[in-house]
Structure 1
Amino acid sequence: MSTITESIDVDVNVTTAYNQWTQFESFPRFMEGVDTISQVDDTHTHWVVSMAGVQREFDATITEQHPDERVAWRSDDGPQHAGVVTFRPLGDATTRVTAQMDIDPDSFVENAADKLGILNRRVKGDMVRFKEFIESRGTETGQWRGDTDRPGTTH
């Protein structure tokens, strides 16, 4: 299993950055290799992704979500991964967005991409594209302000 951590400072307030991140269906606009994401319900998504000409589909569950703080998930099937994105205000109009993902590549292509650092570069590029996307808009495309506690905990 590999862990990838990337942070970027975006020039929007924490609420705007967080709200945009909750709009999963917009991810293909800034995430390389993400073809589509469908929001099934408040805590379930369906992903279609491509890497090196190989298309994969999987479902993921949002395991924790707290407005303006964090969104965590884990895959239910397909490529095994889990992660968390945190949002920290650095001022009134700047937010640090940090993505940490644990990925367990399960195919030759995914293993090769991991070993060659391609996955790390892809996540770094996704964060840069998120920054460009949200800063160029200045506002989010939508929002979901619900609160989802990690199983067995309360917020």
Structure 2
Amino acid sequence: MSTIEKQIDVSVPADVAWDCLHSVESYPQFVDGVREARPEGKRRAHLDLEGGGKVREVDAEITDRAKSGTKGNVMLWHTAHGEGAELKGAFTVRAIDDQHTQVQVRVEYDPEKTRDTFGGPKGFAQSDAIQELVQHDLEKFKDLVEHQR
């Protein structure tokens, strides 16, 4: 498994960022490759993904937990069933002050399965591409939460 961690500071209160992450329907607005997303119950989301010229359906399980010793919350997620790569990760939301929040994302993936599912380069080139994608998604998230208020 490979792991990518990225973070970004956003100019909104922590609860605004947290609520946006829990609004599954908003994922197509900030996660590249997500065509449609909808909640299915309290802890599950269904995602229609597009990548490598293919459309795939994936279900994700979501679990929340308070991060002890900090003023932060963590949303853990993993693909539960569907076609393609198995992914898992977490969003951590930490208040910097009343109007600023740090959002960190961690993604764990199997490089070979990810390449087979979504196409694209191998090795370091794939890792670089995924890191750029995660950073781009964080920047889109920042834009979304800061301008929806």
Q: TM-score range by the shorter chain?
A: 0.7 to 0.9
RMSD, aligned α-carbons? 2.0
In the other structure, the counterpart of 2:93 is 87
Tell me, in whole angstroms, the C-alpha distance in 2 between the residues paired with 1:109 and 1:115: 16
Q: Which structure: greater helix fraction?
A: 2
Tell me, in whole angstroms, the C-alpha distance in 2 between the residues paired with 1:120 and 1:13: 26
Tell me if the contact between 1:88 and 1:97 (Cα under 8 Å) persists in the aligned partners.
Answer: yes
Partner of residue 126 from structure 1, selected from 137, 141, 145: 137
Any idea what the Cα deviations from partners look like across 1:15-69, whole Å, max 9, x if unmatched? 1110111001111011111111120100011111111312221111113345961
TM-score w.r.t. the length of structure 1 is: 0.81
Structure 1 pair 100/32, CA: closer, same or farther in 2 (3 Å)? same
In the other structure, the counterpart of 2:12 is 12
Structure 1 pair 65/52, CA: closer, same or farther in 2 (3 Å)? same
In the alignment, structure 2 segments of 5+ residues that lack a partner are: none
Following superposition, which runs of at least 4 residues in structure 1 exceed 2 angstroms of deviation? 63-68, 108-115
- Percentage of identical aligned residues: 27
In the other structure, the counterpart of 2:33 is 33
In the alignment, structure 1 segments of 5+ residues that lack a partner are: 139-155
In the other structure, the counterpart of 2:121 is 112
Structure 1 residue 4 displacement after superposition: 1.0
Structure 1 pair 51/11, CA: closer, same or farther in 2 (3 Å)? same
TM-score w.r.t. the length of structure 2 is: 0.84
Compare 22-31 and 99-108 and name the one that shifted more. Answer: 99-108
**Matched positions, count:** 138
AA aligned opposite 1:17: A
